[in-house]
Every structure is written in C-alpha cells, then in structure tokens.
Amino acid sequence: MKNVLVIPVFIPHRGCPHDCLFCNQQEISGTKRQEKARVPVQEIIEEWLEHQGAREQVQVAFYGGSFTCLEREEQAALLQAVQPFIAANKVHSIRCSTRPDCVDQAVCDHLRQYNVTTVELGVQSLDDTVLQRSRRGHTAADCEKAFRMLKKDGIEIGIQLMPGLPGDTIFSFLKTVEQVIGLGPDFVRIYPCLVVENSGLAQLYRQGGFLPLSLSKAIALTAYSYEKFSRAGIGVIRMGLQPSTSLEKSLIAGPYHPAFGELVQSRLWLKQIRKQLAMLQSGEVLEIHLSERDLSSMIGNRKQNMNRLEELGFKNRFTLVVDRNMQRGCTEYVVSK
C-alpha cells in the first residue's frame, strides 16, 4: 500500500449477523453503531482528497462492519457513492472487510461490478474449537471456501488474525498461521485479542473464565508469525489495533500497547543482530547499515535492545550507520577488524 491514499469509511458493526464474544466495534473504532443511518461517503472522500499530496493511487476502504452481510441495496448505495470519483479518476479502487460466511458467487459478482478490488476476511482463527468458543458463527471451512471463491475472481485478499482468543493456544495459532500461508493471501493483519467493555469477553474475564495473552507473549507470537509470513512472501500490513482514546478508555485487559507493531519489529531486530554478532571472530566489529526509519525499532523502546546487547557483552562489537538512502526494512552488515 505504498504511495496509496486509503480513505477509511467506517460502518461500525453494520451487517454483522453475530455478536462475537470479543467484539465491541463502537469502542474499538470510536464510532457509534449506525442502523441504516446515512453514511456521508462522498463528503468523507472529498475531505480526504484534500490531503492526497503526492500519492498517485487512492482507495476507499469500508471498515468496521461486515460489508457483504449488509442488504444488497445498502451495499449498492455505499458503493455507488464512490463511482463518480472512480469515473473522474480521483479514486482508483475500493476495499471492504467482511465475514467469511457472507461470501458467495453472487457477492463476488456484485463487488466486481462496483470496482471492489480488495476484500479483507475476518478469519481470526482456523481452529473450529476457537471459532466456536469465540461465538464467531462460522467454521474454518467457511473461511477456506470464501478465500478460494474470491481468489478465483481475481480479488486481492487480506486475512485478519487474532491470537489469544478463548481456547486458543500457541500451537493452535501457529497451525492457523501455517494454514493461512497455505492459502496464500496477499497480506495479513494480526490483532492480538483484547478485552473491551460491553463485550461478552469482558463478562467472561471478570468471571475468571478467560486469561488474555501477556504483552510479552503476544509480541513473541506475533514476531514469530511475522517471520513466517515474510518468508512466504506475504506482507503483514498491521500488528496491533490502531490506538485511540475510545479504545484506551474501554480497555479492560490484554496485550495492548500504542506502538505494538514497533515492539514486534524491535524484537525481530534484536534477534537478527544477535545472530550476526554471534558469528563474529575475535577482534572483529560489525557495522550495521540501516534506514533512518528503522533506527527507532532497532534501538528499542527505552533503548531496550541496546541495553540487552550490552548485557550480552556486545557493547563495543558493533556500530550503527544510518543511511538515509536505504529503504525501510533493508539492512547491510559489514565486518571489519
């Protein structure tokens, strides 16, 4: 999604046929649930286009609800509102998020008719026990069926995953990761499960029936998953929920951090650099060339990585060289005597 302006249009909880155990979209998105109220799509687009800048591509994204579970007329009205901007070449594509059990061939045909190029599937898990205990209302087979149907129609697919759901284990989540890799989505998002007010999970947590992941475990599990997806050529475009005042006020428990994704990246940096430093011979020093945009993640929150490397005896065994011309995520290691 580089060089793309993504215009978010929130339809919180619209279309969802189930109240999943973990869900409260009003608190997560900071937007009130709308029951067929008018969504000012065109006004939102016009406002965001003022901030397009140098970005060449513009995509309108319907977030927060299960778009294809809406009544067909409501879907059409929302999508139709975008069409004049597409005709004028001001918007180039549309994305939406939905549930796997709200996808069939008629849905695919309808989406393509209105220039929808990307669909994000709220899979969360491919373990049927986890799905059942989380009150998702669909099965792993529904997820796989929806994925293959969208793929057959040439639609870009993102998969949203949620480690730490009721009944989930490290083993079951990593099995889900392997299954998702087998499907081959274009990208994934990883949102560790949080406990928010006015959700079924909040009640279960207060009754002692649910223990969320710790922050450290969520970071470790997400980092491992990130590596697996990256090796498979699948981009991880977000880790952790977008921070908001509404979310932070409603949060009861769980592995939340406003910079969760950066904490994951920091862990990956530490692992990578420790591996390189461990290969040094006596008297050798490692030069780490990295992008300016990666410097914060490499150093770590409150210099955590630097302090850890010092504890391991590597304080004088490496130097950092910031290269402003280097792309984010690229690294070069140079060994010198």
State residue 29's pLDDT score. 47
| CB neighbourhood size of 132 (10 A) | 14
State residue 65's pLDDT score. 78
State residue 329's pLDDT score. 87
The b/e string for 80-98 (b: 16+ C-beta within 10 A; e otherwise) is ebbeebbeeeebbbbbbbb
Domain residue extents for the chain? 4-258, 265-336
Per-residue pLDDT of the chain (337 residues; tens, 9 = 90+): 568 999 999 986 665 666 788 887 554 544 454 555 578 999 999 999 999 988 999 999 998 778 999 999 999 999 999 999 999 999 999 999 999 999 999 999 999 999 999 999 999 999 999 999 999 999 999 999 999 999 999 999 999 999 999 999 999 999 999 999 999 999 999 999 999 999 999 999 999 999 999 999 999 999 999 999 999 999 999 999 999 898 999 999 999 999 999 999 999 999 999 999 999 999 999 999 999 999 999 999 999 999 999 999 998 999 999 999 999 988 999 999 8
Strand extents, DSSP E, the chain? 4-10, 57-63, 93-98, 116-124, 156-161, 187-190, 195-196, 235-239, 251-253, 285-291, 318-323, 331-336
Question: Identity (one letter) of the amino acid at 187?
Answer: F
State residue 130's pLDDT score. 97
Among candidate residues 235, 28, 225, 36, the one with its CA nearest the CA of residue 120: 235
State residue 337's pLDDT score. 81
Question: Per the structure block, which two tokens stand in for 96?
Answer: 């939406």
What kind of architecture, by CATH, is found in domain 4-258?
A: Alpha-Beta Barrel (3.20)
Rg, Å, the chain Cα set: 22
| CB neighbourhood size of 18 (10 A) | 15
Check residue 70 and report its DSSP letter: S
